[in-house]
Amino acid sequence: MSGAAVSRVLNTLQEEGGLLGADIAALTDVSKATVHRWINGKAAPQPKNELMIADLNYVVQKLRDYYKPENIRVWLHSRHPQLGGERAIDLIHQNRTDEVLTIIARLDADAFI
């Protein structure tokens, strides 16, 4: 991803996912100042962090069909019985996004999460 693309994705995560710079910083194990530099195009994330950001963006785009931005943030940070009591944001950090996407797919099947 180019610096401009990263900046657009991060802005989208904030606007459509209700996420804060602190959320992105915690996900990627960097400081809030580093995230701010990514948003402003003054720095670019390492490839592994780009992948986490891309996965998070994909999850947020799926969730916005069902939830408002402020609810998406809560959903990502809440413990879910369908995830064995784990939080979706933690699973994305652990490169286990497929598990999160599996329970989101249940929303498409009209199952309640």
Q: What is the DSSP secondary-structure string of 1-14? A: --HHHHHHHHHHHH
pLDDT by residue (tens digit) across 35-92? Answer: 999 999 999 999 999 999 999 999 999 999 999 999 999 999 999 999 999 999 999 9
Residue whose entry in the numeric block shows the structure tokens 């329970």? 103
Give the containing element (helix H, strand E) for 92: helix 88-93
Provide the residue ranges of all domains of the chain, joining segments of one domain with +: 3-108
Q: Give buried/exposed letters for 38-50 (b at 16+ CB in 10 A, else e).
A: bbeeeebbeeebb
Backbone Cα Rg of the chain: 14
Instruction: Name the one residue in this structure whose structure tokens are 């999160």.
Output: 100
Q: What is the pTM of this model?
A: 0.91
